[in-house]
Structure 1
């Protein structure tokens, strides 16, 4: 162990995965989470091979497999008649090509696996960070209970409303996309008559799209129903939605969409935000990770995966260095991560347009492109094949 002391602010998926990577790198890392017992809301999450290969290296392969659903592929359908517009293979094809599986999880299941792998004494609940600053020899995190933690590095993994980011760069609201999502979980027995496959299905139509897939080992069907609503931009994940309201937005859509919407006891509604790529993630010995620096729309299923990649690259940059080299290491971390995350942010933003095209010439052009997809799509290779721990020229810049 190099003795480098690291404070991670935020105990969500990105923060806990980063802590596991930093422990492997020999750092003395502690995670501080504002709630006493961190939980994730009832929503699904997808993890592609670029993330699962890292978690497997952390020793989590068996635990992940026991909680996950391994989808066969991705199927794109037309909104009204259900016509298949395109297919892509996942399952064995993706795992054979990229050396790691593609998984679906309930977010709470994934977080519980990560948290269980972190030694209990390194996770501190009920500690809300309110400020960060530089000291003569390190960085300082200040908490709302008056406590202060000094360390060699502070990492803000505290989400889209990051207190660490605000301390570094001031207050700035993220960009509301104009998209609002209804989400829910349906017990699979209520949908058994549909004979749905273990795959991601994305229904595309004018002004919205509807995604569903299995989670929790196949016990629940997760759906995310995205609509365009410029007049509603509350940023909570926990606002109750109205199933009848959601159904109205999908009036005229295929009956299967309505069957899934009608199979849940409750739905939640949240506005979707992202952020224009930041010019910088770090100041001195303080840096950012995940949604704190690159929140993205969920239209490439890469939000969690990119935060896991961040942690792996950060750990690689902090491996076997002296405390005096931390600032240069954080510059290297940004240099490696920013172009990739910015490109994925902007690609996800672009999908918010292409997924929602009204019927017409542009929609027909999109559908023709999707019809050419088959098997293992080469367009995924740059995302799925990436290894965030392999920095071929890991020199400080």
Structure 2
């Protein structure tokens, strides 16, 4: 055992941070590692309403022993075989559905949660794993790395400083860890605003023809997602598109998780199918979430001692409902990378830590870059962010149906196997293929 443990500082106690701590404890249970999670909030709570986890994320939670995420106690799964169903805004007819492509076990099929319930399950799993300290009221002001081979230094809002062998930036899309090393990375408002709520299912369960499954109703410049989630809750997410470059656009200066106007939400769906109108009329409150996104980073590793995970690493703005699963896969991959370089005696050297982070980056960056390229690509914008056709004219009903019929197949993302990808990176390394270095 090393004279001193490997000091890992995790910045942020959201899904990415908790999954990182849990993954390291589960994958390296016998190693001498001191893990501390630093969270700026005064209490552990998730901001937001609902979250979906796809098979790629749920498979990892299964390996990590987060049984509550799999047994149905805090999540809801489709009654049918399809993870998502798309319906027409006016007629309510099905105009598309997603399908599983691989052999997906029932407990790994798309699950939908209240964010607070999922975070609580992860906190419980971390506590059961043991030897992870969570410090609240620990907002950071910066991170830096000194001389070659020296530790990282984290500065806090209260003036304290600590040193760490490894810093994991899991502090979200507005990550201060990322900002400390990538000043040129800019987040831009996409023009999309989401109106989110989660409430007791009793408020909607008497609606005639209320679907049992999650439904995505598609209109020309707005959509509505509605679904049961765990613990007898129901979620409604309206999405509204405006011109992000026009300062007079509604919600131009809207704040994340800011108070929303239920009457405005209802006005967006007047004239839609009666089931949709009934659902939004039952919504007791809503909050606004302006969508921001950034381009892909050249590396998820900022220094030989600093790595980004979750939304801090890939600022995709919640596209494809994949953020939670991406974060969980990031966390597990980081743990696999550490385990691969861990020496038989003592703790990893600086060079071994560098190699572990290279492996993490080589495994995860191609996938998340592909996600971000789709988010920012012209084809993606035409499909999802406007009520206009390519020629600028108002989208016709036929064109609306066509863009749903021709939407991209995302199973390369939702069913991604991070372990297989990691093994592939190791295999290429052994064959002499270069691995990205930082």
TM (norm. structure 1) is 0.89
Over residues 325-379 of structure 1, what are the superposed CA-to-partner deviations in whole Å (9 max), with x where a residue is unaligned? Answer: 2123212211211110121233345555314443255324324447xxxxxxx93
Per the alignment, residue 67 of structure 2 pairs with 61
SS for the counterpart of 1:185 is strand
- Aligned-residue offset at 1:194: 3.0
Aligned counterpart for 1:354 among listed residues 383, 386, 393: 383
Task: Return the offset for 1:89.
Answer: 4.7
SS at match of 2:96: strand
Q: How many residues align?
A: 387
Identify which of 354, 366, 371 aligns with 1:344. 371
CA distance in 2, matches of 1:188, 1:360: 32
Q: Using a 3 Å threshold, how does the CA distance of structure 1 residues 83 and 234 change in structure 2: closer, same or farther?
A: same
User: Do 1:214 and 1:221's aligned partners in 2 also have CA atoms closer than 8 Å?
Assistant: yes
Partner of 2:345: none
- Residues 132-281 of structure 1 mapped to structure 2, 5 A cutoff: 132-136=143-147, 137-170=150-183, 172-192=185-205, 193-217=207-231, 219-230=232-243, 231=249, 232-234=251-253, 236-281=255-300
Moved more, 18-27 or 263-272: 18-27
Q: 2:402 aligns with which of 346, 365, 374?
A: 365
Structure 1, 253-262 or 63-72: larger mean CA deviation? 63-72
* Cα gap change, 1:63 to 1:307, in 2 (>3 Å): closer
**1:69 and 1:348 mapped to 2: Cα distance?**
27
Q: CA RMSD in A?
A: 2.5
Distance 1:235 1:117 in 2: 35
Alignment match, 1:122:
133
The 2-side partners of 1:34 and 1:173 are apart by: 22
Equivalence for 2:390: none
> Secondary structure of the equivalent of 1:389?
helix
| Structure 1: runs of 5 or more not aligned | 371-377
Given that 1:132 and 1:167 are in contact with CA atoms closer than 8 Å, whether structure 2 keeps it comes out as yes
Bigger radius of gyration: 2
Task: Give the gaps of 5 or more residues in structure 2.
Answer: 244-248, 343-347, 388-394, 430-434
Q: C-alpha distance in 1, partners of 2:255/2:152?
A: 31
What corresponds to 1:51 in structure 2?
A: 57
1:266 is paired with a residue whose SS is coil
Task: Return the alpha-carbon distance in structure 2 between the equivalents of residues 283 and 235 of structure 1.
Answer: 34
Contact (CA 8 Å) 1:300, 1:348: kept in 2 or not? no
Once residues 155 and 98 of structure 1 are traced to their aligned partners in structure 2, the CA distance between those partners, rounded to angstroms, is 32
Aligned residues of 1:295 and 1:303 also touching (Cα < 8 A): no
Normalised by the length of structure 2, the TM-score is 0.82
Q: 1:235 to 1:79 in 2, by over 3 A?
A: same
Indicate which of 142, 150, 159 corresponds to 1:131. Answer: 142
Distance (Å, rounded) in 1 between the aligned partners of 2:133 and 2:233? 32
Residues of 2 paired with 1:52 and 1:174: CA distance?
Answer: 29
Among candidates 304, 314, 324, match of residue 304 of structure 1: 324
